[in-house]
Chains A and B, each alone.
Chain A
Amino acid sequence: GAVVSQHPSRVICKSGTSVKIECRSLDFQATTMFWYRQFPKKSLMLMATSNEGSKATYEQGVEKDKFLINHASLTLSTLTVTSAHPEDSSFYICSARDMADKNIQYFGAGTRLSVL
């Protein structure tokens, strides 16, 4: 099956610093990738839709200046958490939509962000 690689798997940073998370589709091309956030004991919440070559679309309540998304190629999207604060600590998961099978999203393993 299709593989999505997410890096890093875990990151610990100081408050005020920025953190970049990468999401790569390894064996397929994805014009669309999605970023989700998962709080403890809660479901995944869609944060934004990342479109190759254009601006990301953010869900209501998600700060676009806090969570910068770049989708520069058909296999890579990045999420940068800028000026991170402890309340940004969470599990971030990306998915990629397979262009050959447009209704299927394949998920990365997630990134555990801890902001001290």
Chain B
Amino acid sequence: AQSVSQHNHHVILSEAASLELGCNYSYGGTVNLFWYVQYPGQHLQLLLKYFSGDPLVKGIKGFEAEFIKSKFSFNLRKPSVQWSDTAEYFCAVNKGGGADGLTFGKGTHLIIQP
């Protein structure tokens, strides 16, 4: 079975700082990788996804992530965060066929200070 590890459980940054949230997964086969965001009081929203092709994927709201197969990693980045980026961020994975449910990391609570 696959598993997902998010290294940072709580991150506090000032506005305009750069962001990188770590995500590692364990699974030997082909995977699909996702980052979801949950704003306070709202449902999970898809930020970006990787299925195949270019390992650098761009998502909504200026976020991007890089799939490094050799490191089993899919780190999320944003060059300059805003106060509105305060939210819970979840990395998730499922097997390459895409039919399975997602395995989630424990999430990272990001707080952006004005």
Point out the residues of chain B lying under 8 angstroms from A95, CB to CB: 44, 101-102
How many A-B residue contacts, CB cutoff 8 Å? 49
**Shortest Cβ gap from B81 to chain A (Å):** 23
B82 close to chain A: CB less than 8 A: no
Which of B46, B90, B99 is A32 in contact with, Cβ under 8 Å?
B99
A116 close to chain B: CB less than 8 A: no
Which of A1, A44, A49, A102 is B98 in contact with, Cβ under 8 Å?
A102
- State in angstroms the CA–CA spacing of A59 and B100 once bound together: 11
Known: A43-B106, A103-B49. A109 touches B42 (CB 8 A): yes
- State in angstroms the CA–CA spacing of A104 and B99 once bound together: 9
Q: Which of A29-56 contact B (CB under 8 A)?
A: 32, 34, 36, 42-46, 49
Known: A43-B106, A43-B107, A44-B90. A107 touches B101 (CB 8 A): no
Which of A36, A42, A43 is B101 in contact with, Cβ under 8 Å?
A36
Point out the residues of chain A lying under 8 angstroms from B36, CB to CB: 107
Known: A43-B90, A103-B49, A103-B51. A93 touches B44 (CB 8 A): yes
Q: A32-B99, A43-B106, A102-B98 are in contact. List 12 more A-B contacts (CB 8 A).
A: A4-B43, A42-B106, A43-B90, A44-B104, A46-B101, A46-B102, A46-B103, A95-B102, A105-B101, A106-B46, A109-B42, A109-B43
- Considering the complex of A and B, which 3 residue pairs feature the smallest CB-CB distances, nearest first? A103-B98, A46-B101, A107-B44
